[in-house]
């Protein structure tokens, strides 16, 4: 018996699986693969957060069922974060909820608000759950550009004019994964005005709010007057505090959307382990110098990678935020597409990256490079890539990398 399950049939093959299988096979053969593929922070969680986890875990009462929508102290800590970071006042009772990471929150919200055939506008390329959360829920996705600007706004207009039924929601993700694009408040204001007029929900993924490298921190769409009438925003502690495996995130904003997510989650889970929530509260309320250190670490890694790749003849835009570089495939290899190029890079340079097609067909001319190895390993990756490109006749410079880049 080989059943064809309806929701599974709507999902494409997981393209990352091919690269992961190749990586596992190479490592099993004893090869040293430098893994810049998955956005998985490699540094430890700050000590004061772990200490609070251990302290809370020592309390026997903390091992009982928790609260699906999050313990009150953590929801208050999220509201306090929004107040000091964005000058946005939230009601912890009705406008905040704790999720098992932003990914789970987005997927469950999609289940809560999507009717069969509903149309959602989602960027392409984009983090897969932005589109597939709604496809799994029975909706349809219309793609819009990933870059903020006039083309994005024009695509919103076309989406309203040419979609039947009219779109019920639009996904925003700035700073974005995988492209590292950032948006400003003027852009958010235009999107909010458009969506309020057309009665379209805004679902914002702000997971990389604190991983930025310029002087201006990324804004929240909730800073726009009237945004809370139509908007919910997801954040996460995964990247900000090196807590990816802890699976703790949040949603904030429109109370109707928060209520819908709260209700569906009440059927699905009992919330994160209470000591994790207590430690997350300590993360948000405690000293933030660790966040500055994490941001500096990624900035330094970014600079080593971008400068080194330029020396190797591969011009990659320097990302202004996130822990990723969105790298156009070098011209001599453009015809391969991102999956074949990723495999070639692993086979010849021993460097693993994520094929851009895994984030949507409009990403197939790029690969995503994650800053998840230390600078020494990144320099090694750059040396390997330079040697590979030179041997393939693709290098545009014969100069040796400077000591700061290789």
- Taking phi over 0 as left and psi of -120 to 50 as alpha, with beta for the rest, 69 belongs to alpha
pLDDT, tens digit (0-9, with 9 covering 90-100), for 255-267: 999 999 999 999 9
pLDDT (tens digit, 9 = 90+) per residue, 34-87?
A: 999 988 999 999 999 999 999 999 999 999 999 999 999 999 999 999 999 999
Say whether pLDDT at 7 is over 90: no
Q: Output the CA angle 215-218-221, nearest 5 degrees.
A: 150
For residues 325 and 369, is the Cβ–Cβ distance under 8 A?
A: yes
pLDDT at 402 over 70: no
pLDDT of amino acid 2: 66
**Average pLDDT of span 158-176:** 95
CB 275 within 8 A of CB 71: no
What does the alpha-carbon distance between residue 331 and residue 134 come to, in Å, rounded to a whole number? 35
Q: Report the pLDDT value the prediction gives residue 165, as an integer from 0 to 100.
A: 92
Spatial neighbors of 199 by CB under 8 A, at least 6 apart, are: 230
| pLDDT value for 348 | 94
Average pLDDT, the chain: 93
Predicted pLDDT at 399? 39
pLDDT at 392 over 70: yes
At 99-154, the pLDDT tens digits run 999 999 999 999 999 999 999 999 999 999 999 999 999 999 999 999 999 999 99
H/E run at residue 309: helix 289-311
CA 308 to CA 302: how far, in whole Å?
10
- The percentage of the chain sitting over the pLDDT mark of 90, rounded to a whole number, equals 86
Taking a C-beta distance cutoff of 8 angstroms, is the pair 37, 354 a contact?
yes
Report pLDDT for 393.
Answer: 67
Q: What is the pLDDT of residue 400?
A: 38
Q: Using the predicted structure, report yes or no on whether residue 405 has a pLDDT greater than 80.
A: no
**Which of 8-22, 167-181, 289-303 has the lowest average pLDDT?**
8-22
Averaged pLDDT for residues 194-198: 97
pLDDT, tens digit, 9 for 90 and up, residues 203-255: 999 999 999 999 999 999 999 999 999 999 999 999 999 999 999 999 999 99
Alpha helices in 150-288 (DSSP H): 150-162, 185-198, 255-268, 274-285
Structure-token match 């994005």, residue found: 152
Express as a percent the part of the chain with pLDDT over 70: 96
User: How would you label 238-258 residue by residue, b for 16+ Cβ within 10 Å and e otherwise?
Assistant: bbbbbbbebbbbbbbbbbebb
Residue that has been written with the tokens 């880049």 in this structure: 405
> Residue 8: what pLDDT?
81
Q: Which residue has the tokens 């990256």?
A: 353
Contacts 24+ apart (CB under 8 A), 388-396: 388/345, 388/348, 388/349, 389/312, 389/313, 389/314, 389/330, 391/348, 392/332, 392/333, 392/348, 393/332, 394/313, 394/330, 394/331, 394/332, 394/333, 395/312, 395/313, 396/313
Work out the average pLDDT over 183-212.
98
- In the block, residue with structure tokens 């922070």: 41
Mean of pLDDT values over 335-346: 94
Take residue 380 and report the two structure tokens written for it: 């090694």
What are the structural domains of the chain?
Answer: 6-44+289-392 (3.90.1150.10), 47-286 (3.40.640.10)
């Amino acid at each position: 018996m080989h059943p064809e399950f309806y929701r599974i049939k709507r999902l494409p093959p997981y393209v990352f699986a091919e690269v992961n299988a190749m990586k596992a096979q190479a490592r099993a053969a004893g090869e040293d693969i430098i893994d810049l593929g998955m956005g998985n922070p490699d540094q430890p969680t700050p000590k004061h957060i772990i200490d609070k986890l251990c302290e809370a875990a020592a309390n026997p009462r903390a091992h009982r069922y928790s609260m699906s929508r999050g313990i009150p102290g953590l929801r208050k800590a999220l509201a306090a974060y929004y107040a000091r970071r964005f000058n946005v006042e939230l009601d912890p009772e009705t406008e905040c909820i704790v999720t098992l990471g932003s990914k789970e929150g987005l997927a469950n919200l999609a289940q809560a608000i999507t009717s069969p055939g509903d149309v959602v506008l989602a960027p392409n390329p984009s983090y897969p759950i932005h589109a597939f959360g709604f496809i799994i829920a029975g909706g349809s996705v219309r793609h819009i550009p990933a870059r903020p600007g006039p083309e994005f706004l024009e695509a919103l207009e076309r989406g309203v004019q040419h979609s039947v039924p009219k779109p019920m929601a639009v996904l925003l993700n700035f700073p974005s994964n995988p492209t590292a694009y950032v948006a400003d408040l003027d852009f958010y204001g235009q999107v909010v005005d458009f969506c309020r007029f057309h009665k379209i929900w805004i679902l914002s993924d702000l997971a990389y709010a604190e991983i930025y490298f310029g002087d201006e921190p990324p804004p929240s769409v909730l800073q726009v007057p009237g945004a809370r009438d139509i908007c919910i925003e997801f954040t996460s502690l995964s990247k900000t505090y090196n807590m990816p495996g802890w699976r703790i995130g949040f949603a904030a904003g429109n109370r109707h959307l928060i209520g819908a997510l709260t209700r569906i989650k009440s059927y699905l889970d009992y919330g994160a382990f209470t000591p994790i929530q207590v430690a997350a509260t300590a993360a948000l309320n405690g000293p933030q110098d660790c966040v500055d250190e994490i941001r500096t670490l990624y900035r330094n890694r970014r600079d080593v990678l971008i400068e080194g790749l330029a020396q190797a003849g591969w011009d990659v835009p320097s990302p202004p935020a996130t822990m990723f570089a969105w790298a156009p495939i070098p011209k001599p290899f453009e015809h391969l597409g991102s999956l074949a190029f990723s495999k070639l890079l692993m086979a010849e340079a021993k460097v693993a990256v994520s094929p851009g097609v895994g984030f949507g067909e409009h990403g197939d001319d790029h690969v995503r490079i994650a800053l998840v190895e230390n600078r020494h390993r990144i320099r090694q990756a750059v040396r390997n890539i330079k040697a590979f490109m030179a041997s393939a006749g693709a290098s545009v410079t014969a100069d040796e990398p400077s000591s700061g880049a290789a």
